Amino acid sequence: MSFFSKLLGKKAEAKKPVEARNMFNLQMDDIVTYDLEDYKIVGKISYDDHGFKWHAYQLEGVSRTIWLSAEMDDELYLGIYEKIKLKLQEPIPKKIEYGGTQYSLDESGSARVTGLGRSQNINGMICDYYDYCDKEEEKFLSIEKWGSEIEVSAGYEIEQYELKIIASK
């Protein structure tokens, strides 16, 4: 034990190298820069629909909270989503109009989820999901049913080069 370690009353610890980040291993407190704004990762939801997996990261900025969706399906798909107020009830319709845009159901299913950070309270739950897109496949709606609660988010696709990641540890 070195003099300084004794002085501080603890063993000197070797620092572990920071793991290189990708869209599937982002960690709580990492910083994601998107559209000239920095966001801190405060939550993460991992979805598993019979072996098909994807992630949603809750990003908290100064003025808003957004979700970054990451999915690998032959290629990497990234999307930015924001929760919206849209009253829906079951049965979930196959077509939805929102903000002057007509959306059609693209895919749906059920996924077991794992949550971290602000999303840790949903560990082990089953989420029914419904993904919609407009005719041009440029705008998207994501509907998630958590028990009796239905959440709706509007989003759009982005490219990986639009993001900058700063690892927190």
Q: What is the pLDDT along the chain (169 residues), one digit of tens a residue?
A: 554 455 455 544 556 777 889 999 999 999 999 999 999 999 999 999 999 999 999 999 999 999 999 999 899 999 999 999 999 989 999 999 999 999 999 999 999 999 999 999 999 999 999 999 999 999 999 999 999 999 999 999 999 999 999 999 8
Helices (H), the chain: 3-8
Q: Can you give the pLDDT at residue 18? A: 78
Q: Is the peptide bond before 93 cis (omega within 30 degrees of 0)?
A: no
Q: Which residues fall within 8 angstroms of residue 150, CB to CB, at 6 or more apart?
A: 88, 89, 90, 92, 143, 144
Which of 47, 35, 38 lies closest to 71, judged by CA?
Answer: 47
Average pLDDT, the chain: 92
Which of 102, 99, 131, 125 lies closest to 113, judged by CA?
Answer: 125
Q: Can you give the pLDDT at residue 12? A: 45
For 15, the token pair is 């620092």
Q: Can you give the pLDDT at residue 118? A: 94
For 12, the token pair is 């000197």
Q: Can you give the pLDDT at residue 11? A: 47
